[in-house]
Amino acid sequence: MRVAMYYNNKDIRLEEMPVPEIGPGELLIKIIASGICGSDLMEWYRIHKAPLVLGHEIAGMVEKIGDGVTQYRKGDRVSASHHVPCNNCHYCLNGHHTVCDMLRKTKFYPGGFAEYVLLPAINVDRGVYTLPDEVSYEDGSFVEPLACVFRGQRLAGLKPGSSVLVIGSGISGLLHIQLAQALGAGRIVATDINEFRLDAAKRAGANYTINALDYSTELLRDINDGRLADLVIICTGAATAINQGLESVERGGTILFFAATDKGVTIPISFNDLLFRNEVTLMSSYAGNRADHMTALDLIRSKRVRVKELITHRLDLEETELGFKLVAEGKNSIKVIIEPQK
């Protein structure tokens, strides 16, 4: 089968490798759509593992079924989680499935930028989601990223009527905007340095958009009835953006960190002013559990989150390197989907 083999962000080669052999309890999935995630471009994190096949935002068709699998049939349309929890450990039992040791060890093989992917038995058991007829394959590839977004807002306790500031209007930021609107947020403000993405933020449901180079807390107060934001969602790892977020949260509010920084970045904070005196909550969120994925799928099915309009590029498998370039530059791209069967 053909795969897009990752060596670094600027060197991704179309190569051949054997179709994975299926074992008991496993599924072989024919990949129809696989989204490029911003985390795929974290070269500092990936490079020591290269060469490898990336891609975890997948949707496809069941091609082969291992012995003992009874709940799926050849031809079923599915999305799947690349990481799944044990559901039994201290972390899972306390609602922190996404820091489970098992979740950090599990994955499918070889990766979504390939013609076929093998789902291990544990993934089949707790990480496969059947796509309704009204959900296309490319829409199905959004189940995983939207599950991550939903978990973040769920943990952050977004309340109807709350003001929301989304810093960074890439794909994660746009999903956060759409979800916040769907969940009844009040005023939604979005920032970015890219006017193309700010226009996308308006279409996604932001009430106000501000170029990050012109942003100030005074401007936020002017458009938010004199207050800062109840919920700040930081969707970029840029230190300047993080500092803007730390300055932009209202008393009693929450800051959700939703993007990794470069390796080794530290951010100083004013403990007394930000935390002790103002009761601000700082939190992060990573990945999503099965319930988050099922909710994400329903949000997509009902079109309460309109993922299709976020796709700017659909590329062949051999164009994966171009896809990485488009995502890295971010000039006129939002979501890039790789279609291995083209």
- CB distance 57 to 142 below 8 Å: yes
CA terminus-to-terminus distance, the chain? 13
Phi, psi of 203 (to 5 degrees): -65, -30
The sheet with strand 11-16 has its strands ordered as 11-16, 2-8, 52-53
Who contacts 106 (Cβ-Cβ below 8 Å, separation ≥6)? 82, 83, 84, 120, 122, 123
N residues, the chain:
342
Element at 102 (helix H, strand E): helix 101-105
Structure tokens at 51: 């060469």
Cα distances from 291 to residues 46, 128, 176, 244, 273, in angstroms, run: 28, 12, 18, 32, 37
- CB distance 123 to 102 below 8 Å: no
pLDDT of residue 270: 86
Plot region of 303 (φ>0 → left; ψ -120 to 50 → alpha; else → beta): left
- CB distance 66 to 125 below 8 Å: no
Q: Mind giving me the DSSP string for 120-174?
A: PHHHHHHSEEEPPTTS-HHHHTTHHHHHHHHHHHHHHT--TT--EEEE--SHHHH
CA distance 55 to 83: 12
Residue 341's Cβ-count burial label (10 Å; 0-12, 13-18, 19+) is middle
Residue spans of the domains in the chain: they are 2-141+306-339, 147-284
The CATH fold assigned to 147-284 is Rossmann fold (3.40.50)
pLDDT of residue 133: 96
For the chain, 342 residues long, the average pLDDT of each consecutive 10-residue run is 97 98 98 96 91 98 98 98 96 96 96 98 97 98 98 96 97 98 98 97 98 97 97 96 96 96 89 88 95 98 97 98 95 96 90
CATH code that applies to domain 2-141+306-339:
3.90.180.10
pLDDT of residue 342: 84
pLDDT of residue 320: 98
The reply to whether 147-284 shares the fold of 2-141+306-339 is no
CA distance 260 to 286: 10
pLDDT of residue 284: 96
Exposure string over 97-134, b if 16+ CB within 10 A, otherwise e: bbebebbeebbbebbbbbbbbbbbebbbebbbbebeee
pLDDT of residue 239: 94
Phi, psi of 136 (to 5 degrees): -75, 170
The residue whose two tokens read 């024919």 is 30
